[in-house]
Amino acid sequence: MKYSEKISNRLNDLLTKTYDAEKGYKLAQDKVDNPTVKKFLADKVQQRYNFGHELKREIQTYGELPDKGGSTKGDLHRTWMNLSASLSSNSTERILEEVERGEKASLEEYNEILKDDNMELAPTTQEILIKHRNQIESALNNARIYEEAIS
């Protein structure tokens, strides 16, 4: 497998998970009543939309095609979020727990790519991934703060 294809495959994996996160945040935003948490979730929808466009452009710079949709695993996670929110007495808290879980997984994914010694990233790719990772880490911290505030 050539270098550009290998990098693009990894970036496409991130792109698919970004689509999943954007859809998950939209779902979560519809499920909460707390205006502050709703705004936080709306900001994350926009953030992931922006991540998607940045990843697509980067994939195209390698001469490859970006993926166009989310994953089945993401669909299952959103179904679980729906069920959990409908059964939980404090659905906002439960949704924030799911946000944390998703953000932790995203953080691991980004760190894995950034620390992969077998993958020498172009400076632009590395810069994008570090920026995304840092914003995900910030979202994770904010979700924890919101969860503690409402529990």
Confirm whether pTM is higher than 0.75: yes
**pLDDT tens-digit map of 104-142:** 999 999 999 999 988 889 999 999 999 999 999 999 999
Q: Note whether 27 and 38 are within 8 A (CB).
A: no
Integer Cα distance of 58 and 54 in angstroms: 6
Give the CATH number of the domain where residue 25 resides.
1.20.1260.10
- Our CA angle for 136, 141, 143, nearest 5°, is 90
Summarised one tens digit per residue, pLDDT across range 11-22 is: 999 999 899 889
Q: Is the dihedral angle over the CA atoms 43, 47, 48, 52 positive or is it negative? A: positive
Dihedrals phi, psi of 69, to nearest 5 degrees = -145, 175
pLDDT at 91: 83
User: In angstroms, rounded to a whole number, what is the distance separating the alpha carbons of residues 66 and 38?
Assistant: 30
Of 36, 44, 5, 30, the closest CA to residue 136 belongs to: 44
Query: What is d(CA 29, CA 13) in angstroms, rounded to the nearest whole number?
Result: 24
Q: Domain range for residue 52?
A: 3-150
Q: What is the pLDDT of residues 78-100, one digit of tens each?
A: 555 554 554 455 588 888 988 89
Output 103 or 134, whichever has higher pLDDT.
134
Looking at every residue in the chain, the average pLDDT score rounds to 86
Task: Using alpha carbons, list the distances in angstroms from residue 95 to 36, 99, 122.
Answer: 14, 6, 36
Read off the pLDDT band of 42 (50, 70, 90). very high
Instruction: Label residue 61 by pLDDT band (50, 70, 90).
Output: very high
Instruction: Give the count of domains, the chain.
Output: 1
**Which pLDDT belongs to residue 1?**
60
